[in-house]
Structure 1
Amino acid sequence: MADLLSTGVSGLLASQIGLSTVSHNVANVNTDGYSRQTVQFSARPAQQLGNFYVGTGVNTVAVQRAYSQYLNTALWTASSDQSRAATYQSLTAQINNQLSGSTNLQTSLDAFYGALGDVSNAPADAAARGVLLARANALGSTFQALSGQFNQLNGQVQRQIGDTVDSINSDSTSIAKLNEQIRTAYASGKGEPSDLLDQRDALIKKVSGEVGVTVVQQDDHTVSLFVGNGQSLVNGSNAYQLATAPNQYDPTRLEIVGKDSGSVITGQVGGGSLGALLDFRTNVLDPAQNQLGRAAVAMASAFNAQHAQGMDLNGNLGGAFFNVGAPQVLNSASNQGTGTLSANISGVGALTAKDYVLRYDGSAWSLRDTAGNAVAMTGTGTAADPFKADGLSLVVGGAPSAGDSFQVRPTAAAAAGFGAAITDPNKIAAAAPLAGSAGAANKGSGSIGGIAVTDPSNAGLLGTANIVFTSPTSYTINGGAAQTYTPGQPINANGWSLTLNGTPAANDTFTLKANTNARGDNGNALALGKVANLGVLDNGATSVGRAYGQLTSQVGSAGSLAKDALTTQNAVYQQALQSQQGVSGVNIDEEAASLVRYQQAYQASAQVISTASQIFDALLSAVRN
């Protein structure tokens, strides 16, 4: 009867473990990362009784978690991609809202050119001129506000980068500690530490959502985590922390480095929310800031050039109408020499939305854009012969050392510095500075087609010029030497350019002189109105309005792609989660069935023990009698 009792006790104990395991599963049904646990049983070795083998009960072999390494790895990858897509979509949505909000640049441009049209209709009207200045200031405020919002978003990104790195370091330290506990638990020979393994897997999933990692299982049941091209985060019980460091050119811009090595790994980080932050900063925010600045430079350059060709109510030629931020030149923190660099925009038509790095190798300078592509330069870099590339003029000086470099950001600060340069409405140069007339006795069909100012600084610009054609193909100016005339080609002198329509005859005359009707003239105001559609950028192919349209289209496209990517990654993540939970998740219905089964087994084992006790009592009673 001792064997029967032992058999009943083994069943009772096995059922107790089963009931405890099921209870643990039910209690953790809502615990994130928990894997369903199961009990593994095996029959005890049978005893031979005569010609038979009689069973002796059950052994509890192990309590194991329902687990698939393949499905968990797929879930970690999906978590990384989903977190990256969610962060990227959130950021692109913010920048899209900024461009389409109350500070919409296109609205400000339309209002400004509308006010300019009112000045064209009434060039002497003080109220119209005042409104134009107000609209110019509003346009400047819009450029500045958009630039400020981009800067705020950039600051938010920098803070999120720092916070994410801190979180990664904290989680990596926790994983390293769990590695040590798991290794110790396995070494004790007491079975699988399921709850510790679940805790570690949950942390790995969290880190995967923060940054793309490679997970390597080790023979001692620990895991190693790597980021980028081999930067270790966790190795056994050791955690290797990441850190942030100022960019070598811009101390407000954070780079990702290995805390121990100090090596920059920003370009190697590609997954999770951290990868999204870095990607958004480089591929959306920086280009948007530069593209906005490019539009500001184009606006100021084109409008100022035409404004300089007009005359204001004081009888003076127009000055700069808009100010704009100058190109930024940032020294590398590792520069050893005393080299200097100055940058100016010399050709707006060739200006891009890129940033550049100018580097000295000890004997020559080379230019690359921030994507690493070589950019051809002309010139020698002196003030008399500056380096020229992509609309920039670069002048180097001092004594640079080999390896020294400078970052050039042509348009990053342009919008922040954009604003009206004049405050006096009388200084709006709405009038044409020169008036032209054809001689009353002219015999040919020549007529004045247009007058343009080519050099506002020419001292003889406003002087009277008498043009006399000695033949249909030659002329003199103020009795000077005869010059050849080619029909259709302009006549140039003293900072002005005159275009004639038709064909002049011999002895025909034309006169140019300072405009004495500047108060009522709108010649230059009409020309300023045409700047709205004037091709300025991309070698004359892109106007200011179209440049802003390119910006909104560029950011809008990024936002649309980010939204689609998030939808896709959400679906992939849910599929990966369902597959993983199909193996590891707790099913209440299954646990209820297991609970009944173990309860009945427990009761049956208790009955076996009771029966063994009754038989033993009967034997004792028989012996006593």
Structure 2
Amino acid sequence: MSNLLSIGTSGLNAAQVALTTVGNNISNVNTTGYSRQTVLQTEAISQAGGNYTIGSGVNVQAVQRAYSDFLTSALWSSNSNLQRATTYNSLATTLNSSLSASGNLQSALDDFYGAFSTVANTPGVASSRQSLLGSASQAVTVFNTLGQQLAAQQTQVNSQISTTVDSINNVSANLASVNAQIHAAGNNVPNDLLDQRDNLVQTLSGYLGVSAYTQSDGTVSVYTSSGAALVSGDKSFALKTGNNQYDASRTEVLDSTGTVVSSKLSGGSLGALLDYRGNVLDTVQNQLGEAAVALSTSVNTQQSKGLDQYGKLGGPMFSVPSPTVLPSNLNKGTASVSASISDVSQLTGSDYVLSYDGSNWSMATTSGQNVPMTANPDGTYSADGMTLTLSGTAQAGDTFQLRPTRDASTGLAVTMTDPNGIAAAAALNATAAKANTGDGAIGSVTVTDPTNAALLSGATVSFPTAGSYQVTDGSGNVLASGSYAPGQTISANGWSVTPSGTPKASDSFSIGANTNGLNDTSNALALAGLADKGVLAGGTQSVIDAYGTLTTSIGTVGSQAASNFTTQTSLYNQAMSAQQSVSGVNLDEEAANMVKYQQAYQASAQVISTAQTIFSSLLTAIQG
């Protein structure tokens, strides 16, 4: 009867463990990261003897997790992609909102260029000129506001990078602590520790892309996408944040050895922040700055080619910051670099790194593409529309970062305050001699170099023969001469003309300052024409076109981010569903198990009761 009693007792104990496990499953049905537990029962081994054997009951071998390495790893990877997509989409949405909230730059530019047409159509009307300056201020305000919004997002992203790194380090430290507990547990690791371990890896995967490897003792080692260890055994290796070597306001991520790994990290919210900052936000700031530089340079240049209400060459209407040059904090030499924009049409929207190897200077984009540099006779260098002036003594390894247009949108300003300073009139005109006999004519005089001191001093273009020309100044000095063919351009003293028709021998034209400046508005028309004139991209893209391209690219980034977010959400849900189909708690299943084990418990109790009844009957019989 002792065998029957022990069998019943083993069944009772097994049913009790199973009921407790089912109850634990039901209690944790909504617990994040909980893996459903099941009881592994094995038949007790019977001792051989006689002609037959009778079973010895049941043993509870283990309470184990319902778990799949493959599905869990897939969930971690999917979570990393989803959190990256979520963060990236949020940043792109903010960018699009900033573009809308800062005002419509397209309309502001249209109004500004249109105001030049109004001035051209209403010569001498002061209100038209005043309205033009108002339109200029409005365009600048929109540039400034949008630039400030982008700068604010840079600050926000840098702050988020620091916060995210702190979160990563906190989770890594907790995971190392759980690893220590798992190791200490030996072969009998509590399931709740394993769930905590996996849940912490899941959390880490949301912050950045990771690779996780489970060791034989149940601990897990975690590495970043750059290969740096985050957790190994009971030790965690904290990431660090530090200032960019060129820009102290820019946060970089360093591994535990102090090596900058920002460009090597991917996945998760941290990867999204770094990717967005380097590939979207920097580019947008640079392109907006390009448009600001192009606006300022093109208008100021055309202004300098006309006469204002005072009969003087037009002064600048806008000012814009020079390219920003940032020395590396690792530099050992005393060299300094300054930069200016010499050719707006050659700007690329890139940032650059200028490096010295001990003998020569070289330049590359921040993405690593080499940029040819031209050494000028005056000791300066030219590259991608910039002129670089170097001074001091550099040492091998010294570097400088160049940002040609990054700060231009926030620094753009209207410098003209006097409406009479608008150079609406052409600076020069041409007058045909009354004695001319040919049908040659000069319609307009183009200013090619407004800085030429003799620009307004006057000159005569004559044709000694039908096939030759000569340019002389007021004193009869020959400024230029040569053979002539119809349609040929003639230049001198910072101006050029292209006669039409065919001048005859002895024909001449006088070139001089425009004496009809108060009524002439041809330069205002030229300024209005800048709306469609190619200024950027090798002279093929206007300021308005450049902004249109920028808005299109921002819209594309937002659309792609939203689409990727939707896709990654779907993939994550699929991965979660697959993982939960193995590890998740099903209340219907647990309810059925509850009934099953309850019945097993009651049946085992009945076995014990039967054993007790038989044993009592035997005792009574013996005593009788």
TM-score category, normalised to shorter length:
over 0.9
Native 8 Å contact 1:296 1:324 kept in 2: yes
Structure 2 Cα separation of the partners of residues 454 and 50 of structure 1: 120
Amino acid at match of 1:326: S
Alignment TM-score, normalising by the size of structure 2: 0.96
Counterparts of 1:272-421 in structure 2, within 5 Å, are 272-379=268-375, 384-421=378-415
Native 8 Å contact 1:464 1:512 kept in 2: yes
Structure 2 Cα separation of the partners of residues 587 and 138 of structure 1: 63
SS in 1 for 2:325: strand
Which residue does the alignment assign to 2:514?
515
Structure 2 Cα separation of the partners of residues 466 and 402 of structure 1: 56
Deviations 1:199-220 (A, max 9, x none): 1101101100101111111122
Structure 2 Cα separation of the partners of residues 483 and 363 of structure 1: 46
Structure 2 Cα separation of the partners of residues 410 and 457 of structure 1: 24
Which residue does the alignment assign to 1:228?
225
Structure 2 Cα separation of the partners of residues 458 and 34 of structure 1: 81
Give 1:47 shift: 4.6
Native 8 Å contact 2:113 2:530 kept in 1: no
Deviations 1:55-96 (A, max 9, x none): 121111100000001110111011111111111111112212
Structure 1 Cα separation of the partners of residues 443 and 180 of structure 2: 88
Which residue does the alignment assign to 2:103?
103
Deviations 1:468-503 (A, max 9, x none): 433323344354448333321222233222221111
Moved more, 446-455 or 468-477: 468-477
Instruction: Using the aligned pairs only, state the percent identity.
Output: 50
Give 1:554 shift: 2.1
Give 1:320 shift: 1.1
SS in 1 for 2:409: coil
Which residue does the alignment assign to 1:26?
26
Moved more, 505-514 or 306-315: 505-514
Shift in CA distance, 489/406, structure 1 to aligned 2, threshold 3 Å:
same
1:247 to 240, 244, 248: 244
Which residue does the alignment assign to 1:542?
541
Shift in CA distance, 21/99, structure 1 to aligned 2, threshold 3 Å:
same
2:481 to 483, 492, 497: 483
SS in 2 for 1:46: coil
Give 1:435 shift: 2.8
Which residue does the alignment assign to 1:444?
438
Give 1:401 shift: 1.2
Which residue does the alignment assign to 2:126?
126
Native 8 Å contact 1:228 1:265 kept in 2: no
Structure 2 Cα separation of the partners of residues 277 and 459 of structure 1: 53
Amino acid at match of 2:167: S
Which residue does the alignment assign to 1:195?
192
Counterparts of 1:136-155 in structure 2, within 5 Å, are 136-155=136-155
Native 8 Å contact 1:63 1:192 kept in 2: no
Q: Residue 497 in 1 paired to residue 493 in 2?
A: no
Native 8 Å contact 1:89 1:563 kept in 2: yes
Which residue does the alignment assign to 1:257?
254
Native 8 Å contact 2:429 2:444 kept in 1: no
Structure 2: gaps spanning 5 or more residues: none
Moved more, 244-253 or 43-52: 43-52
SS in 1 for 2:580: helix
Give 1:223 shift: 0.8
Structure 2 Cα separation of the partners of residues 515 and 535 of structure 1: 27
Native 8 Å contact 2:165 2:240 kept in 1: yes
Native 8 Å contact 2:223 2:231 kept in 1: yes
Q: How large is the Cα RMSD of the aligned pairs?
A: 1.6
Give 1:441 shift: 4.2
Shift in CA distance, 328/361, structure 1 to aligned 2, threshold 3 Å:
same
Native 8 Å contact 1:44 1:57 kept in 2: yes
Structure 1 Cα separation of the partners of residues 65 and 451 of structure 2: 85
Structure 2 Cα separation of the partners of residues 70 and 120 of structure 1: 73
Alignment TM-score, normalising by the size of structure 1: 0.96
Deviations 1:352-402 (A, max 9, x none): 11111111111111111101122111106x7x1311111111121111111
Native 8 Å contact 1:64 1:192 kept in 2: no
SS in 2 for 1:449: coil
SS in 1 for 2:62: strand
Amino acid at match of 2:481: Q
SS in 2 for 1:450: coil
Which residue does the alignment assign to 1:614?
613
Give 1:253 shift: 0.6
Which residue does the alignment assign to 1:172?
172
Structure 2 Cα separation of the partners of residues 175 and 458 of structure 1: 73
Give 1:50 shift: 4.2
2:463 to 454, 469, 473: 469
Give 1:437 shift: 2.6
Structure 1 Cα separation of the partners of residues 13 and 189 of structure 2: 19
SS in 2 for 1:178: helix
Structure 2 Cα separation of the partners of residues 324 and 408 of structure 1: 16
Amino acid at match of 2:295: M
Deviations 1:542-567 (A, max 9, x none): 11111112212222222222222222
Native 8 Å contact 1:536 1:544 kept in 2: yes
Which residue does the alignment assign to 1:37?
37
Deviations 1:311-355 (A, max 9, x none): 111111101111111100001001111111111111211111111
Give 1:102 shift: 4.3
Give 1:49 shift: 6.5
Structure 2 Cα separation of the partners of residues 269 and 457 of structure 1: 51
Deviations 1:109-154 (A, max 9, x none): 1111122221111131111111110111111111111111110111
Native 8 Å contact 1:466 1:509 kept in 2: yes
Shift in CA distance, 468/388, structure 1 to aligned 2, threshold 3 Å:
closer
Native 8 Å contact 1:14 1:58 kept in 2: yes
Structure 1 Cα separation of the partners of residues 400 and 48 of structure 2: 89
Structure 1 Cα separation of the partners of residues 374 and 491 of structure 2: 30
Structure 1 Cα separation of the partners of residues 457 and 400 of structure 2: 47
Query: How many aligned positions are there?
Result: 619
Structure 2 Cα separation of the partners of residues 318 and 337 of structure 1: 43
SS in 2 for 1:21: helix
